[in-house]
Every structure is written in structure tokens, then in C-alpha cells.
């Protein structure tokens, strides 16, 4: 494969654990990877929501509070028992409230910051022995363009809250944690990359069409992103097509950050 | 898995060896029909002959530093069906290693690394725009981040990186994705590191240990795969990106 021989995005031998796999982008990532033959374990807090998720071959929903390292470790053991290996972790869960700057206090800041960042560290730490043992481990950390770009406050109407300060700071932390882990564990053939989506609002969310049109006008490709357009780049980072890439942040924003 | 390249026409410059040859191989495997360009006719023909679907590809032995050769290529593309994909893979210092070489010398290096690609883009982009689909991939270098190497070359590649971002903005409304790929140290037969590995293995190992977190050189195919990804439908929202393929090295 190193010389381009074999299917470019083959992930049929991968066992993937993804946190927050039931969300809008998480679901798209799960569907893309499972659709290409990976065995995907989607972890989320609420079992009832998981039950409502569509049934897809190769995709298993498991209840797990990924903020609790012990709960996450137990879940990995269950997966290992069935699969005999775990070689891919996708950190995607996000537990943060959108608060106005004026509403923030130190507690809200800490809660929000930790809700976005802490479990990226703890899940990576718990999963590392499994990933290293696999001999070709991959971590993909889902970050955001607001990890390196300040949100343009002028685009948000009064009733829509843009990314909060702690969210932006945590996403920057995710990008740097990615680089740190990439270098720290490169000698174990563990690749760690992040992906930074731009504007991917959930269809039918309360965000209004006029507001979304205004956003789209600011994006060179003149539209907001579609969920499968995150699935493709994550598939690329999991697959051998990216096997000499580590410590990188893949930006998927329709060109927004080139302005 | 079909990544959407079947039947797409793609230009690859510098296609007879190294990274360009690897890119041609992966694009051909994915079903693209190629226009291969390089100076050495024999080597180019040999590269073409070994590609999957060899009968679907064209090989043009041209020196794109010569204006009439560049014109010949553009004429070929305009009359024989313009490509939906342009992979600009020309790069190098042309032997200009003196930081205080004349501006004329520097401009040659600039033209080789960026000017030729720009000349092709400005002729082909309107044709891509009329189809509302296009991919333009420029091969840059990790040296724009490390700043180790020949100044004229690095300055030209830094300009190229800026160019890619600007062009991405300009043509995005036509659904044309423009991106750069920045390879780190890649194993290419006959080049410095491939020779070092054979001739001075201890020095080579020490270099890997000190400079490359993955502790190995990259392979041509590993760069080519990233280029194929950026050409594919899977990268449809990634315009303006500059993707490093460097094993984590700096």
C-alpha cells in the first residue's frame, strides 16, 4: 500500500471507537466508516437515543459516559473481548453550553472548558495501550476552525449564540494535544491527527435560513458544509491513504479560513 | 471504493519520476485519464507504459520552462479536452543555491515552482468553471515551515502557498477546489536521503531519530495517496487547505 497499491481508503480491518457517535457529525462519521467495512463502536451517554439511531451493518451503539475514565475503560474491555483489538479512537464528544460572554463566570468557564477538552485527554490515555498494541493505531480528534480562528461576532443575530470563549479555547487545546500526542507516540506507529470542521449546522436546527445564508456568503464555496463532507476526511485520516501524516490538523471549511 | 475519479481527465506535471510518477500511478489506479508531462521522453513513455489503463493516457515530452513548450501543452489541453484535475508537481531550486544570486536567477526559480502552474491555471480555470467542477493541487514542501534549504526555492514555495490560498478564494464559486500538499522527506531513488540510507546507514538512522517522529522516510505512494484524496469527491469542502505529509517532522 505504501506505494499506492491496494484500495486507497480501505478500513475494512479497523475497529473504531468513536465518542459522541450519535450527534450530527458523529453519525455521519460512523456511517462513512461502517459503510466502508470498519467495525464501529459509537459511544454515547443515552441508550434511549442510541436505540432510535438507524441500524447500520458494522455499527454498534454502546452506552458510555466518556467523561468517566473508568466507564470508558470498561467499555473498551467489552469491545476488546469481542473484537480482539482496538486500533482507532475518534474523539468527537462535546459537552458544552453556549453562553454569552456576559453570562460566563469561572465555574461556567471551567465546566465548559472541561466538557470540551478533558475527555479528549482521558479517552486517549485509556485507549493508548490498545492502540499501541495494535501496531497501527490511529487517533482522530475532532476540533473546530474556532480552535485557531476567532468567531466573527458580527454574523450572529441577537438570539443566536456563537461559539463561547471556553469552547474556542478548548478546541485550540485539542489541536495542540493532537500535536503533542503525535510526536510523543510516533515511534509506536500511532498516528494522531485532528480535523477542524467549519460551519456544519444540523438541518432543521433552530438556526434561521437568513442567518445561514449570511454565513454561506462568507464561505468561498458559498455554502455551509454537509455532514458526509466530514465523513470523507475522517475516513482518509483513519485509512492507510494518510499513513505518513501525523500531528496535522485537516481543515474542512469550504475555504472559510483562507479569507 | 469509487472515489469519483473514474473518467476524469487529469494533468500531472513532472510525471516521469519520483512523486509525480507516484501521483500518476494512484490517479490511474482510480480510473483517471492522464496527461503526463516531463522533459525526458524515454522515461516518460516508460512511466506511461506501466500505468493501469495505459491506452487512456497521453504523454507529452516538454520542457515547460520554454514558453513555446508551455503553449504546446495548453493548446493540447484546449483542443483534446481540458482536464478537470490539474496536479502541479514541478519543483526544485534549478541549482540556484546562492542566497545572493541575482534577481534574474531567483525569478527563474519562481517561474519553475509557481509561474508555470499559474500559466496553466489561467488558461484552464475558465474551462473548469464552465463545467462547475475542478481540482487544482499544487505540490509544495515542508521546507516552507522549516526554512532549511535553498532560499530561492523556499521563497518560491512560500509564494506558492500564498497563491494557493488566494486562488482557492477566487475560484471557489465555480466549485473548483484548490489545495496544496507539503511533503516532508520522501524516499526518492538517487536523491540525498535514499543515498544516505545505503551509503551511511548509521548517519541515516541518527537523522531519523533526531528529526522524524515516525522515524522513517515517507514513501512516494504516501504523498500520492493524499493527492488522490484531495482530487476526490471526499475532499469537496477542503478548498484552501495545505496538507502536510511529513511523518510529524519539522
Does the distance separating the beta carbons of A3 and B172 come in below 8 Å?
A: no
Who contacts A180 (Cβ-Cβ below 8 Å, separation ≥6)? Answer: none
Would you list which residues of chain A are within 8 Å, Cβ to Cβ, of chain B? 1-5, 7-10, 36, 182-183, 186-187, 189, 198, 219-222, 225-226, 229, 232-233, 235-236, 240-248, 250-255, 257-259
Q: pLDDT value at position A45?
A: 84
CB atoms inside a 10 Å sphere around CB B23:
31
| pLDDT per residue of chain B (250 residues) written in tens, 0 to 9 | 888 999 999 999 999 999 999 999 999 999 999 999 999 999 999 999 999 998 999 999 999 999 999 999 999 999 888 999 999 999 999 999 999 999 999 999 999 999 999 999 999 999 999 999 999 999 999 999 988 889 999 999 999 999 999 999 999 999 999 999 999 999 998 888 999 999 999 999 999 988 899 999 999 999 999 999 999 999 999 999 999 999 998 7
pLDDT tier at A256 (50, 70, 90 boundaries)? very high
Mean pLDDT of A248-255: 96
Mean pLDDT of A131-146: 97
Give the gap in angstroms from C-alpha A82 to the nearest C-alpha of chain B.
27
Residue A48 has pLDDT above 80, yes or no: no
pLDDT tier at A187 (50, 70, 90 boundaries)? very high
Mean pLDDT of A91-120: 89
List chain B residues with CB under 8 Å of A5: 221
ipTM score of the complex? 0.78
Residue in the block written with cell 454574523: A155
C-beta of residue A138 within 8 angstroms of C-beta of residue A88: yes
Does the distance separating the beta carbons of B218 and A186 come in below 8 Å?
A: no
pLDDT per residue as tens digits for the range A56-88: 899 999 999 999 999 999 999 999 999 999 999
Q: pLDDT value at position B148?
A: 87
Does the distance separating the beta carbons of B234 and A235 come in below 8 Å?
A: yes
List chain B residues with CB under 8 Å of A190: none
Amino acid at each position: 500500500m505504501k506505494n499506492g497499491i491496494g484500495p486507497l481508503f480501505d478500513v475494512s480491518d479497523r475497529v473504531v471507537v468513536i465518542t459522541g457517535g450519535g450527534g450530527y457529525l458523529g453519525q455521519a462519521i460512523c456511517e462513512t466508516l461502517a459503510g466502508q467495512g470498519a467495525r464501529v463502536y459509537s459511544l454515547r451517554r443515552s441508550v434511549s437515543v442510541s436505540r432510535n439511531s438507524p441500524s447500520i451493518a458494522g455499527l454498534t451503539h454502546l452506552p458510555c459516559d466518556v467523561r468517566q475514565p473508568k466507564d470508558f475503560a470498561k467499555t473498551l474491555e467489552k469491545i476488546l473481548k469481542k473484537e480482539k483489538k482496538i486500533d482507532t479512537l475518534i474523539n468527537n464528544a462535546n459537552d458544552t453550553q453556549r453562553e454569552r460572554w456576559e453570562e460566563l463566570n469561572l465555574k461556567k468557564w471551567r465546566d465548559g472548558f472541561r466538557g470540551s477538552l478533558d475527555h479528549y485527554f482521558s479517552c486517549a490515555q485509556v485507549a493508548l495501550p490498545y492502540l499501541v498494541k495494535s501496531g497501527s493505531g490511529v487517533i482522530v480528534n475532532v476540533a473546530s476552525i474556532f480552535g485557531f480562528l476567532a468567531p466573527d461576532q458580527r454574523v450572529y443575530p441577537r438570539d443566536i449564540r456563537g461559539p463561547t470563549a471556553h469552547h474556542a479555547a478548548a478546541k485550540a487545546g485539542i489541536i495542540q494535544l493532537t500535536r503533542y500526542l503525535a510526536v510523543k507516540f510516533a515511534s509506536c506507529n500511532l498516528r494522531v491527527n485532528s480535523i477542524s470542521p467549519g460551519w456544519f449546522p444540523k438541518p432543521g436546527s433552530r438556526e434561521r435560513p437568513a442567518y445561514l445564508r449570511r454565513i454561506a456568503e462568507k464561505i468561498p464555496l458559498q455554502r455551509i458544509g454537509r455532514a458526509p463532507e466530514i465523513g470523507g476526511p475522517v475516513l482518509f485520516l483513519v485509512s492507510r491513504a494518510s499513513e505518513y501524516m501525523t500531528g496535522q490538523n485537516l481543515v474542512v471549511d469550504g475555504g472559510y479560513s483562507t479569507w | 471504493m469509487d472515489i469519483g475519479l473514474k473518467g476524469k481527465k487529469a494533468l500531472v506535471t513532472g510525471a516521469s519520476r519520483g512523486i509525480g510518477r507516484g501521483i500518476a500511478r494512484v490517479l490511474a489506479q482510480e480510473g483517471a485519464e492522464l496527461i503526463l508531462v516531463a522533459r525526458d521522453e524515454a522515461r516518460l513513455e516508460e512511466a506511461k507504459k506501466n500505468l493501469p489503463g495505459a491506452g487512456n493516457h497521453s504523454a507529452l515530452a516538454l520542457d515547460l520552462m520554454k514558453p513555446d513548450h508551455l503553449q504546446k501543452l495548453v493548446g493540447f489541453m484546449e483542443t483534446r479536452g481540458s482536464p478537470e484535475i490539474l496536479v502541479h508537481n514541478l519543483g526544485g531550486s534549478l541549482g540556484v543555491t546562492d542566497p545572493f544570486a541575482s534577481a534574474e536567477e531567483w525569478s527563474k526559480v519562481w517561474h519553475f515552482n509557481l509561474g508555470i502552474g499559474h500559466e496553466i491555471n489561467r488558461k484552464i480555470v475558465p474551462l473548469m468553471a464552465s463545467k462547475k467542477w475542478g481540482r487544482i493541487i499544487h505540490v509544495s514542501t515542508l521546507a516552507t515551515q522549516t526554512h532549511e534549504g535553498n532560499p530561492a526555492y523556499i521563497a518560491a514555495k512560500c509564494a506558492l502557498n500564498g497563491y494557493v490560498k488566494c486562488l482557492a478564494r477566487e475560484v471557489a464559486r465555480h466549485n473548483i477546489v484548490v489545495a496544496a500538499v507539503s511533503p516532508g522527506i520522501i524516499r526518492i531513488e538517487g536523491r540525498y536521503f535514499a543515498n544516505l540510507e545505503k551509503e551511511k546507514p548509521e548517519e541515516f538512522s541518527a537523522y531519523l531519530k533526531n528529526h522524524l517522529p515516525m522515524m522513517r522516510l515517507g514513501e512516494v505512494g504516501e504523498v500520492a495517496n493524499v493527492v488522490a484524496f484531495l482530487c476526490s469527491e471526499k475532499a469537496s469542502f477542503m478548498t484552501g487547505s495545505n496538507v502536510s505529509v511529513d511523518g510529524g517532522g519539522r
